[in-house]
Amino acid sequence: MNDWHSDFVTAIKEELKDEKVEIKQEEYLSKEPLRIDVIIIKKEKDVKINKRIGQIFKRYNIIEYKSPDDYVSIDDYFKGLGYVYLYKSIMNAYEKSRKEVDDIKIEELTLTFVCSNLPKKLISFLAEHKIKLDNSDNGIYYIHNEWIPVQIIVLSELENVEENYPLMVLSNNMYFKNAIEKIFTSINEAKEYDNKIRLIEAAFRIDPGIVSEVIKMYADRLNEEQMKYVINNLKEANFKIYTEEELKKSIEKGMENLVIRLLKKKFSDIPEKYIKLIEDADEKTLLQIADNIFEINKIEDLEKYIVN
């Protein structure tokens, strides 16, 4: 199922995973179906957000996201402002059980629009009405002269892959391929799998060709468990990346590199003869070597597993 808003929530969670914030999806503003896309609440109101996208953040930060085939219209802009003021007037302050008058201060609120491409009509409209814009950060447009801090994040214009890769894969960004590569090189822990896989699935809907290319290119960077996890999850999402033969070869290539890395850590230098033996070994043999790596005390011991 194509659900860009959930993909965006995944991306923003990944983007701000190291920050002290709580992220809620589709916060209802009333009993009627009136809701905002994301509300980011600082757990500690005075803590500073390190990421550039959060430089304007205060205690309560409302995010309105537009999918790749949508845009921020003039009316969307005013609706976003309306959501902020409704949130201030209706919702309880963080960790309070009931609403009190003015318990959420106007100074504690910000508004962020996130879209794939620059909303030119809106930009022109704001300029006509003397609303100042500052694009000192590539891809982030700060809007002044409003009662609250407002920014527009244009995903296709972001340039800092290291910092913004989770968001960059949701658009046709110039550095889209680099952002996908960053996802693969940052899969380190099992707890990160689900978010990373979801981002890869979302990226497929942007450019399946580039994502397939990156998966094949980085197959040898993943260990066997990671590789199988990636492929199985993407297969379940009905994305055909590999034929069965390609899948087998990719997993074997990943195992080859894993075994070579383990042996280099243990013995520093590996004669070319043994590198060749490892490259010619099948998946079962490579797995046996990896499982018994601590029992291999000299490089010649490899022959017990490889040479009949």
DSSP string, 141-169: EEE-SSSS-EEEEEGGG---HHHHHHHHT
Higher pLDDT, 237 or 113: 113
Higher pLDDT, 204 or 12: 12
Pair 15, 21: CB distance under 8 Å: no
Q: Measuring CA to CA, which residue among 306, 260, 261, 267 is closest to residue 284?
A: 306
Please say which residue of 165, 194, 224 terminates a domain.
165
If asked whether residues 54 and 174 sit together in one domain, one would say: no
Give alpha helix (H) positions in the chain: 4-15, 74-90, 120-128, 161-168, 176-185, 193-206, 208-217, 224-236, 244-267, 272-280, 283-291, 303-306
If asked whether residues 284 and 215 sit together in one domain, one would say: yes
If asked whether residues 177 and 67 sit together in one domain, one would say: no
pLDDT tens across 158-196, in order? 999 999 999 999 999 999 999 999 988 887 655 567 788
- Under the banding of pLDDT at 50, 70 and 90, the label for residue 259 is confident
If asked whether residues 154 and 253 sit together in one domain, one would say: no
If asked whether residues 132 and 219 sit together in one domain, one would say: no
- Under the banding of pLDDT at 50, 70 and 90, the label for residue 84 is very high
If asked whether residues 99 and 188 sit together in one domain, one would say: no
Pair 106, 148: CB distance under 8 Å: yes
Q: What are the structure tokens assigned to 235, written together?
A: 């297969």
Is the overall model pTM greater than 0.75, yes or no? no
Please say which residue of 135, 165, 195 terminates a domain.
165
Range of the structural domain that residue 38 is part of = 4-165
- Under the banding of pLDDT at 50, 70 and 90, the label for residue 44 is confident
- 3 state DSSP class of 132: coil
Please say which residue of 147, 165, 183 terminates a domain.
165
Per-residue pLDDT, 53: 93
Give backbone dihedrals phi and psi of 301, rounded to 5 degrees, phi first: -65, -20
CA–CA gap between residue 46 and residue 27 (Å, rounded)? 23
The number of folded domains in the chain is 2
pLDDT tens across 86-124, in order? 899 888 888 777 888 888 999 999 999 999 999 999 999
Q: What are the structure tokens assigned to 226, written together?
A: 């990671």
CA–CA gap between residue 174 and residue 253 (Å, rounded)? 30
